[in-house]
Structures are given as C-alpha cells and as structure tokens.
Amino acid sequence: MGPAPDVDRAASTESPARAPGWEQAPSAPQQSPSLQALRGPVDGSSEDFAALAKRILARSVPRTAMQAEAEVSRVMWVAATSRSSAQERDIADAARRPWPSDVVAIAAVNAAPGVARQLNDQARQAFLLRRDPLEAFDLQLKAFGANPRDSEVAGNLAFLYLKLSPPQPEMARQVVLNAMALNSVQLHTAHADDWLTFAVASALIGRQDDATNALYVTIAITGDLDRSCKAALGAIAGYGERLRAPVQAMMLRIRFQGRDYESPYCAWPQRGTVARANF
C-alpha cells in the first residue's frame, strides 16, 4: 500500500469529534505558518513537507513499525494474561517501559518543530471545526514532514488515515506503531489514544486478537475510563461489526473488574443508540 493518498482522494463525510490529543474544538483559528515557513525544511531547500513525509512513510516508517511490533506484542501478551484489577498495574508498567532507542528508524533531519505544531493545530481545526477530514489529513501530512520525530504529530496522522474514504488501516497501523516507538524512546507516557488507533486499525485488517488486547491496554493506562468507553463505542458506530467483538471483550473485562460503575458508557450491552462522536 502506498505511503499516502493522492490529494484528490475523497474523505469521509462523517466527522467524529476527537483525534488523539485533540480534547475539544479550538475556540478560534490560530495564525497560520507563513508561506516561507511552509515552503520547505529549515535548511533552505525548496523541498515540500508533504513530499518529505511521503518519502519517510515509504522508507523509514515500515522498518520502525516492524521493529516496534515486537515491543507492542510483549505489552499485549501481558494485557491478555492479566485479567484482574490488581494486575492492571502490570499492564501499565509494560506499556510504559522504555523501548530500545534503535527501534526508531527515522534518521535525524533538519526538522521544523514549530511549523509542525502549527500545522498540527490547523489540522485539528479543519477536523473539529470545519469537519473536513481530507483537509485535516493534508495538513497533518505536512506536519509529519516538518517534524517526523514528533510522536503526537505522528499519532494524529495515524488517526486521520482511518478517516479517509476508504480508510487506510494498514497505513494507520504502521504510523501509529511508529508514534508509539517515538513516544517510548523519548520517555513520554504511553498514550491511550495511540493504543485505541492501533486497536481500530488492527480490527479493520482482521487482527481481532490484537484489537482486543490493545483495548485492554487502553483501560489499564487511561486516567479517564468514561472517555475510553465512549471512544470504543464510537469505534463500533463508525467502523461497524469488526469492532464489536473486541469492544465487547473490553467492556466485559471492565465489568469483571467491577469498574463498570465508573461510567454508563462502560456497561454492556449498551442501551439505546451508540453515539458516533468519539472516534
């Protein structure tokens, strides 16, 4: 599968409200980067950030994803075998353990981190305010090219691969594995949103066990079980039956642990209509 869709690819008309790290709609548009800033990397070349992102996605990200998968599999094995609430700490500790630095295959580049964050913010506005997933994806792709070692930028790009029409779960899975690797080697806290993106992408390509175990990780590392359950239900609403069995397993584990009282969204089976707004 190619590293990025053509710019004229149609995007999903549905606009679930939240991407990783995007907690709520911004109150007002932020100032855009200058045209000079967007023209290319800070070394003065005329190379376009989107073109640079596509090369990194084709050459470096698959290698990082392959190496990261071994680390992710280790965490998911702990999640699969740790059922009780007393063992949730074991899962969280496994998810937060730093990975070897050589997992990340992206070489040092002349990054433009400030521009990357500005583009990331613009993508968020496009997705949440203008409900335009394709515009958001194009901006996020440029953000990744501006700083491919920013784990948040990479995680948001992975999320947006799932919002294209049709979704690109293989690419989403590779890019979120890359984001997890960056996050871990930079000694940041594990992101439940990245694990949710990984779970959805895995389910969409038929890897149900990976999807289920990744959802177990999300409930072990999250500080907001209500949000996680709403997002999981939103995944069923947004992506269909391939998410039902993994989400059901997640909800039943929550009930087994006696935590379903923490949110009405964590009860199973759900009553009424599942909201589409959370993933």
Q: Tell me what pLDDT residue 18 has.
A: 41
Instruction: Give the span between the Cα atoms of 172 and 183, in whole angstroms.
Output: 16
- Residue 12 above 50 pLDDT? no
Q: For the chain, what is the radius of gyration of the CA atoms?
A: 18
Phi, psi of 192 (to 5 degrees): -60, -35
Instruction: Give yes or no for a contact between 268 and 255, defined as CB atoms under 8 angstroms apart.
Output: yes
Asked, for residue 42, whether it belongs to a domain, the answer is no
Instruction: Please write the tens of the pLDDT for every residue from 108-117.
Output: 677 899 999 9
Q: Find out whether the peptide bond into 166 is cis, omega within 30 degrees of 0.
A: yes
Q: Which whole number is the average pLDDT over 91-114?
A: 85
Q: What is the CATH number of the domain that holds 210?
A: 1.25.40.10
Asked, for residue 233, whether it belongs to a domain, the answer is no
DSSP state of 34: P
If you count DSSP H runs as helices and E runs as strands, how many of each does the chain have, helices first? 12, 0
Using a 10 angstrom Cβ sphere, with 0-12 exposed, 13-18 middle and 19 or more buried, the burial of residue 181 is buried
Asked, for residue 5, whether it belongs to a domain, the answer is no
Instruction: Give yes or no for a contact between 225 and 265, defined as CB atoms under 8 angstroms apart.
Output: no
CA dihedral 213, 214, 218, 219 (to 10 degrees): -10
The number of folded domains in the chain is 1
Asked, for residue 247, whether it belongs to a domain, the answer is no
pLDDT interval class at 22 (50, 70, 90): low
Asked, for residue 25, whether it belongs to a domain, the answer is no
Asked, for residue 170, whether it belongs to a domain, the answer is yes
Packing angle of the helix pair 151-161, 192-204 (nearest 10 deg): 30
Instruction: Please write the tens of the pLDDT for every residue from 147-188.
Output: 999 999 999 999 999 999 999 999 999 999 999 999 988 877
Instruction: Please write the tens of the pLDDT for every residue from 43-86.
Output: 434 358 999 999 999 999 999 999 999 999 999 999 999 888 88
Q: Tell me what pLDDT residue 24 has.
A: 47
pLDDT interval class at 23 (50, 70, 90): very low
Q: Tell me what pLDDT residue 108 has.
A: 60
CB atoms within 10 A of CB 262: 14
Asked, for residue 275, whether it belongs to a domain, the answer is no
3-class secondary-structure state, position 164: strand
Instruction: Give yes or no for a contact between 190 and 223, defined as CB atoms under 8 angstroms apart.
Output: no
Q: Find out whether the peptide bond into 41 is cis, omega within 30 degrees of 0.
A: no
Q: Find out whether the peptide bond into 16 is cis, omega within 30 degrees of 0.
A: no
Amino acid letter at 56? I
Q: Tell me what pLDDT residue 1 has.
A: 44
Amino acid letter at 76? M
pLDDT interval class at 199 (50, 70, 90): very high
Percent of the chain scored above 70 by pLDDT?
79
Q: Tell me what pLDDT residue 271 has.
A: 63
Asked, for residue 180, whether it belongs to a domain, the answer is yes
Q: Give the domain range for residue 152.
A: 49-222
Tell me the pLDDT of the chain averaged across its residues.
Answer: 83
Q: Which residues pair with 89 in a beta bridge?
A: none
Give start and end residues of each alpha helix (H) in 17-112. Answer: 35-39, 49-59, 61-81, 88-96
